[in-house]
């Protein structure tokens, strides 16, 4: 999965899970911190959408919608600059 990717066959379920997690976090007092965003936000984006579309979060949400849910999730990212 790539950031903001909707090509996965389960993307509807993945983004629904992210929305549920985001709502739960906000209910518990979480505030999105825009200082982590290092680029200009486009007119069709929000702070939440930018921060909640990262590939790592998509992979975690994918694992959380699996039945049965895994007991351990390991996310490895290969960044070469």
Domain ranges of the chain: 10-66
pLDDT at 1: 62
Cβ atoms of 61 and 21 within 8 Å: the answer is: yes
- Residues 33-72: tens digit of each pLDDT: 888 888 888 898 888 888 888 888 888 999 999 988 888 8
**Measured between alpha carbons, how far is residue 74 from residues 34, 60, 68, 70 in Å?**
26, 9, 16, 10
- Residues 1-42: tens digit of each pLDDT: 677 778 889 999 999 999 999 999 999 999 988 888 888 888
Q: How confident is the model at residue 81 (pLDDT cuts 50, 70, 90)?
A: low
């Amino acid at each position: 999965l790539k950031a903001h990717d909707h090509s996965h066959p389960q993307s509807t379920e993945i983004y629904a899970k992210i929305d549920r997690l985001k709502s739960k976090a906000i209910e518990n007092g979480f505030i999105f911190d825009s200082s982590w965003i290092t680029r200009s936000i486009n007119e069709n984006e929000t702070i939440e959408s930018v921060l909640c579309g990262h590939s790592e979060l998509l992979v975690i949400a994918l694992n959380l919608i699996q039945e049965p849910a895994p007991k351990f999730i390991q996310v490895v990212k290969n960044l070469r600059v």
